[in-house]
Amino acid sequence: MVHDRDVNSLKRAAADAAVALVEDGMIVGLGTGSTAVFVVEAIGKRVRAGLRVVGVPTSANTSEQARALGIPLTELTEEMRVDLTIDGADEVEIDSLDLIKGRGGALLREKIVASASERLVIVVDDSKIVERLGRGALPIEVVPFGWRATMHKIRDLDAIPSLRKGPDGSPFISDGGHYILDCVLSGGCTPASLAPKLDSVVGLVEHGLFLGMASQVFVGGADGVKVLSRR
């Protein structure tokens, strides 16, 4: 049985290895989620040791953590180019390095920052590596107004959506003020074919398919940290 403590040690090892890529003077995208917490922690240690960087956080939680660790932050602007973003992922397809992200609820901001980055580096433990995307839910962020109509359109694309709810049973609200639909992909639904169809759905803000975006994946496992690179 794998305990949370063991998984966290794998995440931390992979995060420490990835953060070694951060160089003085960089603008660094700071991801969101249970693995990104270790990334931000590792960057904070290097900042306290003298590293000069500026972070672009992808969520309120990440922003709060980074400020507490003394990492200078900025907002993403039109002319800004992020040198490197380090983030986690919910699934990594081993051959393509395509990703599913967003189960932590920050997929829109994560994708905005990733798309503005020279490099997107992903940090995961080895349980997140899959042969084919879709083992778990695909998060989709939607506008609250008319969300049921949007959900119906998504269902027509052979994805089975359900509204994410918070602990009190009310709809989960993202940092952007949107709802999230968690979708089960049907067996005949491939990410490459689904992504452009989702992009055309009115009311859909963003989806958690990050295709062709990651350049490297740092994978923490029992035998150490392995680095997968896009072919």
Mean pLDDT of the chain: 94
- Count other C-beta atoms under 10 Å from residue 135's C-beta: 13
Name the band, by pLDDT with cuts 50, 70 and 90, for residue 29.
very high
Alpha helices in 20-126 (DSSP H): 36-48, 60-68, 107-115
Q: Is the pLDDT of residue 191 over 90?
A: no
Q: For residue 4, what pLDDT band results from cuts at 50, 70 and 90? A: low
d(CA 42, CA 135): 30
Q: What is the pLDDT of residues 102-152, one digit of tens each?
A: 999 999 999 999 999 999 999 999 999 999 999 999 999 999 999 999 999
Nearest by Cα to 56 from 141, 2, 115: 115
Q: Which residues are catalytic?
A: 110
| Angular region, 61: left φ>0, alpha ψ -120 to 50, beta rest | alpha
**Mean pLDDT over residues 166-176, rounded?**
95
Alpha helices (H) in the chain, listed in sequence order: 4-19, 36-48, 60-68, 107-115, 147-155, 191-199
Query: For position 131, what pLDDT does the model report?
Result: 95
Nearest alpha-carbon partner for 133 in 96, 180, 88, 100? 100
* Confidence label for 173 from pLDDT (cuts 50, 70 and 90): very high
Report pLDDT for 3: 57
Closest CA to 74 of 87, 56, 61, 59: 56
Task: Please compute the mean of the pLDDT values over residues 42-53 and round it to a whole number.
Answer: 98
Instruction: Report pLDDT for 189.
Output: 74
pLDDT digits (tens, 9 = 90+) for 73-110: 999 988 889 999 999 999 999 999 999 999 999 999 99
Whose tokens are 């063991």? That residue is: 6
Q: Is the pLDDT of residue 1 over 50?
A: no
186 — pLDDT class (breaks 50, 70, 90)? confident
Q: Model-level pTM?
A: 0.94
Architecture of domain 138-203 in this structure: 2-Layer Sandwich (3.30)
Could you give the CA distance from residue 181 to residue 183 in angstroms, rounded to a whole number? 6
Q: Give the pLDDT score at 27.
A: 98
pLDDT(57) > 70? yes
CATH of domain 4-126+211-221: 3.40.50.1360
Q: Quick one: what percent of the chain has pLDDT higher than 70?
A: 97
Task: Report the C-alpha gap between 39 and 43 in whole angstroms.
Answer: 6
pLDDT for 22: 98
> Residue ranges per domain, the chain?
4-126+211-221, 138-203
